[in-house]
Amino acid sequence: MPNNQRTSNDVTSLSPRHYQNYIGGTFRDHATDTLEVHNPANGDLLGYVPNSDAATVDEAVSAAIAAQPSWEKLPAIQRAGYLRQISAGIRRRRDHLAAIIVEEQGKIRNLAETEVAFAADYFDYMAEWARRLEGEVLTSDRVAETILLMHKPLGTVAGILPWNFPFFMIARKVGPALLTGNTIVIKPSEETPINAHEFAALVAETDLPPGVFNLVSGTGVVCGHSLTAHTGVNMVTFTGSVGTGVKIMETAARNLTRVNLELGGKAPAIVLADADLDLAARAIHASRIINTGQVCNCAERVYVDQTVYEPFLARLKDLFANTRYGDPSRESGLDMGPLINHAAVTRISGIVENARQAGAEIIVGGQVCDTKPGFHYQPTLLANVTPDMEVMRRETFGPVLPVMAVSGLDEAIALSNDSEYGLTSSIYSSNINAVLKACRELKFGETYVNRENFEAMQGFHAGRRKSGIGGADGKHGLYEFMETHVVYIQG
Ligand code: NAD
């Protein structure tokens, strides 16, 4: 039964209110200082969350450590039962959670609903692993010896989250951590913490033992850093930018704490002469504008065979010119909402301006939208780009698509691989041999063939080079939350 002594964080309206951390199964005011949360589409104040300090983080980690031994001892099938309670709670609150994501992150409504539904499915998917966690029995070189490989939880995990799919990221960290017998402390992005506090509210309504799941809000430099530096944390699982990933790795290295890093991308899309150009244009456009281009695995640069460059560009021009954008909390029928903050507008304008000055042609857009309140940037299509331009090398993370003509598959593969990122890639072709060659030679964690995003929960989402260390999802992602204990039995 739900623990009635807990203070609920539940809200029934989006009027600004104060949220509390969730530590050891209770909502409490741990911080005197707060952070404001605003709607990026219109600046509305949505609420206040704690700006947690190191002492508060220590309380949360201590609660997670205290809860871990008995959580680990539960049969996995019982732990899975709690995950199913969580997924049921998410489904019951789907509309409310989606509304918060729309307000807090600026996502369009149907994408926010998809995100919430996917998070619920993700908890159920992880629960299904309860009867499939396996060890191994190995043959020994020695007489009468048996070798066992046992997989055990790491202990206490810290999950540090980005803002772009804030609710799904909770599921991606919490689901596998808990199923495998770890306890967790999460820290949401200071841009989008409210959905995480709402998640804590629904967790509080389940029977999950106190301390198994904990939430602290705050800045990256204090709260996130304290969590990473804490000696009681056995793994930091982080999704966010490369720069922060490097800092987290440096901090974690001092205690030799394990890290799992899901970082940025600069996904290439290759369009060959025999591709279905309508399909490719629609998929790449949709990929670039979904979540206003703020997705790590969506097409950031296009290499198109020179023989179909003009007709392909014409299709993209039409799609970009007809992209509807605005404030998803007040308008319907939109394709995309705002960028997350002013810094994003500045970064993207700078990248586009640098490209223009270096000779790129702006086919559509290319301007900050100053006729609307909020952080809006026009859907932008660029041609005449060259491989050395910043727009072809740096993660733009906005609705900006540069398109470059290439001589064929070999050049497209070489340019694709010439990047410090290696998360996802895509290819459009009806030639199976060309596709297989690309899959052999592309140095990326994922390749999408004749489609764009997203990854699947049963796959393995992992970046090469600066796109990350380790991965998430599926069996391989699950085992990242465990360590191997080898037992040698003589007799
Ligand atoms: P970010 O790096 O700015 O922040 C992410 C989180 O790190 C936030 O919670 C922040 O408070 C925290 N943080 C900041 N400094 C910290 C520090 N010194 N120590 C500990 N924590 C700290 O990233 P963002 O802007 O929220 O997210 C966008 C980035 O995330 C993009 O680069 C995108 O590509 C990447 N991303 C990657 C994936 C993936 O699966 N590979 C998925 C989504 C987003």
Length of the chain as a residue count: 491
Spatial distance between the Cα atoms of 183 and 441, rounded to a whole number of angstroms: 39
Instruction: Answer yes or no: pTM beyond 0.90.
Output: yes
Exposed e or buried b per residue across 353-387, where buried means at least 16 C-beta atoms within 10 angstroms of its C-beta:
eebeeeebebbbbbebbeeeebbbbbbbbbbbbee
> What are the pLDDT digits (tens) for 113-153?
999 999 999 999 999 999 999 999 999 999 999 999 999 99
Spatial distance between the Cα atoms of 386 and 313, rounded to a whole number of angstroms: 16
Q: Is the CB of 232 under 6 A from ligand 1?
A: no
Question: Catalytic: 36?
Answer: no
The correct answer on CATH 3.40.50.300 for the domain covering 268-449 is: no
Tell whether the model's pLDDT for residue 371 goes beyond 90: no
Residue 14's pLDDT is 65
Lowest mean pLDDT among 5-14, 72-81, 403-412: 5-14
Q: Is the CB of 296 under 6 A from ligand 1?
A: yes
Spatial distance between the Cα atoms of 180 and 479, rounded to a whole number of angstroms: 8
Q: How far is CA 64 from the centre of its chain?
A: 23
Which of helix, strand or coil describes residue 137? strand
Q: Which of 59, 262, 300, 395 is catalytic?
A: 262
Domain-by-domain residue ranges, the chain? 17-263+468-486, 268-449
> What are the pLDDT digits (tens) for 302-335?
999 999 999 999 999 999 999 999 999 999 999 9
Q: What is the mean pLDDT of the chain?
A: 94
User: pLDDT grade, residue 8 (50/70/90)?
Assistant: very low
Tell whether the model's pLDDT for residue 370 goes beyond 90: no
User: pLDDT grade, residue 31 (50/70/90)?
Assistant: low
The correct answer on CATH 3.30.70.2740 for the domain covering 17-263+468-486 is: no
User: pLDDT grade, residue 13 (50/70/90)?
Assistant: very low
Residue 478's pLDDT is 96
Residue 113's pLDDT is 97
Q: Is the CB of 398 under 6 A from ligand 1?
A: no
Atom of ligand 1 nearest to the CA of 219: 11
Residue 235's pLDDT is 98
Q: How do strand 446-449 and strand 156-160 relate by DSSP bridges?
A: unpaired
Q: Is the CB of 471 under 6 A from ligand 1?
A: no
> What are the pLDDT digits (tens) for 242-257?
999 999 999 999 999 9
CB-neighbour burial class of residue 487 (10 A; exposed 0-12, middle 13-18, buried 19+): exposed
Lowest mean pLDDT among 5-9, 104-108, 109-113, 381-385: 5-9
User: pLDDT grade, residue 491 (50/70/90)?
Assistant: confident
Distance between the two ends of the chain, CA-based, in angstroms?
47
**Mean pLDDT of all residues in 463-489:** 97
Lowest mean pLDDT among 4-13, 178-187, 206-215: 4-13
Residue 54's pLDDT is 96
**Mean pLDDT of all residues in 208-224:** 98
Q: 346 C-alpha vs ligand 1 centroid, how far in Å?
A: 18
Tell whether the model's pLDDT for residue 183 goes beyond 50: yes
- Please state, for a pLDDT cut of 70, what percent of the chain lies above it: 97
Tell whether the model's pLDDT for residue 15 goes beyond 90: no
**Among 210, 268, 307, CA closest to 428:** 268
Q: 242 C-alpha vs ligand 1 centroid, how far in Å?
A: 8
Q: What share of the chain is helix, strand, coil (3-state, %, to 5)?
A: 40, 25, 35
Q: 320 C-alpha vs ligand 1 centroid, how far in Å?
A: 28
Residue 11's pLDDT is 37
Q: Is the CB of 444 under 6 A from ligand 1?
A: no
The amino acid sitting at 434 is A
Which of helix, strand or coil describes residue 91? helix
**Mean pLDDT of all residues in 209-236:** 98
Tell whether the model's pLDDT for residue 5 goes beyond 60: no
